A = this chain, B = another copy of it.
Amino acid sequence: MSSSSSLIDKAVEHLSQFPGIGKKSALRMALFLLKRPEEETLHLSKALHELRTGIKFCKQCFNLSDGELCNVCNSPSRDEKLICIVKDFQDVIALENTAQFSGHYHVLGGLISPIDGIGPSDIKIPELINRIKKSEVKEVIIALSSTMEGDTTEFYIARKMQELGVSVSTLSKGIAVGGELEYADQMTLARSLQNRVKMDL
B28 contacts A19, CB within 8 Å? yes
Cβ distance A6 to chain B, nearest Cβ, rounded Å: 5
B97 contacts A1, CB within 8 Å? yes
Contacts of A38-92 to chain B: CB distance below 8 A: 38, 40-55, 58, 63-66, 70-72, 89-90, 92
B residues in contact with A32, CB < 8 Å: 18-19
A7 and B49 alpha carbons, distance in the complex (Å) = 10
Cβ distance A42 to chain B, nearest Cβ, rounded Å: 6
Does A31 belong to the interface (CB within 8 Å)?
yes
Does A10 belong to the interface (CB within 8 Å)?
yes
Copies in the complex: 2
Does A172 belong to the interface (CB within 8 Å)?
no
A6 contacts B66, CB within 8 Å? yes
Does A118 belong to the interface (CB within 8 Å)?
no
Does A93 belong to the interface (CB within 8 Å)?
yes
Task: Tell me the interface secondary structure of chain A in the complex.
Answer: helix
Does A111 belong to the interface (CB within 8 Å)?
no
Does A4 belong to the interface (CB within 8 Å)?
yes
A34 contacts B51, CB within 8 Å? yes
A49 contacts B58, CB within 8 Å? no
Interface centre among A15, A51, A63, A70 (most CB of B within 10 A): A51
A48 contacts B44, CB within 8 Å? yes
A47 contacts B4, CB within 8 Å? no
Which one, B44, B49, B70, B93, contacts A27 given CB within 8 A? B93
B5 contacts A65, CB within 8 Å? yes
A29 and B45 alpha carbons, distance in the complex (Å) = 14
A49 contacts B45, CB within 8 Å? yes
Does A17 belong to the interface (CB within 8 Å)?
yes
Please report A residues at the B interface, Cβ cutoff 8 Å. Answer: 1-8, 10-11, 13-15, 17-21, 25, 27-34, 36, 38, 40-55, 58, 63-66, 70-72, 89-90, 92-93, 96-97
